[in-house]
Structure 1
Amino acid sequence: MRLDILSRLNAERAARRAAVVVTDLATHEQRLILAAEVEADPLAEALGAGLRSGKSGTVQHEGRALFIAVQVPPVRLVVIGAVHVSQALAPMAKLAGLDVTIVDPRTAFATPERFPDVTLLPEWPDAALARIGLDRFTAVTALTHDPKIDDPGLDAALRAECFYIGALGSRKTHAARVSRLLAAGHAEADIARIHAPIGLDIGAVSPAEIAVSVLGQVVGALRRKPTRAETAGPRP
């Protein structure tokens, strides 16, 4: 790989931004495509598929064999609330390859005994998230039902354009949440990105079933191709 491309690729990696290196297998010519440049590229379809899957591979384009080397940051799941659903969600998400962080200032709930083997931050979300940083390869779930804890996490996730944002609660609860976020300066179109009630509609009842529905929704947001309507509107 050319040194200039490697240097730029390392810079993107350090900034947790995705990038793709395309190599012509016949001529060995290379070029670097940053995530923000993908949609305008002639290989947009193949590049988009590679970024969604995180997989590198060979494609054919105009009679040429090209190798697409995909670099994406480790995908993170930040869970606001050390609740029963979180206890089930954390190990499932780890098995799915996500880097899990639990954030909850209530130290009686946010304990290593309840959440072994994951990053645990017994802090208020606004302080914790400002320190760890959020980005387009981060999913955020707000699960406490407490606006004082959930709202700062949702506010930060919206401003960071996280690829998935979800919040536990009824439609009535979410309507009140929407009013608070509008008052905080968020646009209706941006707030509409929040999945609420959270999770796939599978009739989940128990904390473990709700965790399954949430994880499925997170993976779907990460991997599936956006619909035409989603492409036209705000998206990660």
Structure 2
Amino acid sequence: MGFDPRHWSGGRSEQRVTSNVEALLAENDVLRREVSRLSRELERLQRQQRQRSRQDPSSQRPWGEPSAQPPPRISRQQVQAWGQSLAQQSGWSALRQRGLELLIDQLNRSSFPARLTLEQRLDRLVPGLGTDVLAAVGAKPNKQTTAVLAAFALFGVRAIEWLDEDPRRVVEQLRQRQDRSSSSRQGRRTRSDQRRTDRVGSVHPRDSRMAALRVLGLDANASLVEIKQAHRKLVKQHHPDLGGSAEAFRRVNEAYQALVQ
């Protein structure tokens, strides 16, 4: 039972109505066949995905679902390009890799919350950013890539914009901050050295050996080998080119000369 338009009689318009209805029914049949074909194709693709999942456990995720790991925001090529651009700016030669590393450490220690690593700081700003930046730099950063890290430590997320558009300003800011950081460390070390050590030239001649040994942190029974080892260690620690105190560096050398003469 029910109404079938093909059997409806409507006078002179009967032939026209019947023709239109038959066309619609034919189109409906075509659509049903297309839906059926697409369903079979989807089932075939899902079977293939299940087979690949059994062969490769690492690929076990629903078909068509995007990978859980997004593409990196910062690529190794991008970091290298930034580093090369910085190296072409005036003032680049005044930057030292060790000075930049110390600047990064100082900025990390003064961050809030304190003592976060650079990776943690950037990840707090944009999830995954710090991880991507450190991965792009690699395990052995050079001066150029260290400067890129220092830019992120100083400017945060805005470092991307500054590195792209104004590398000259980045170098200038890094140089100024490096110089201020170095001056601050040198001032602290000089005051500390003055409290802990004696000036070799101000002691009585008979006590000069003991004073020199105290400068090197040794006792009265120190051997020549121990004196040389202590001298090498302190020279590296107090060398002005490495951010040390020039005054402490001079006292260490004077003490060593007094002991080996």
Q: Given the two structures, how large is their TM-score scaled by the length of structure 1?
A: 0.25
Larger gyration radius, structure 1 or structure 2? 2
Q: Which protein has the bigger strand share?
A: 1
Q: Which protein has the bigger helix share?
A: 2
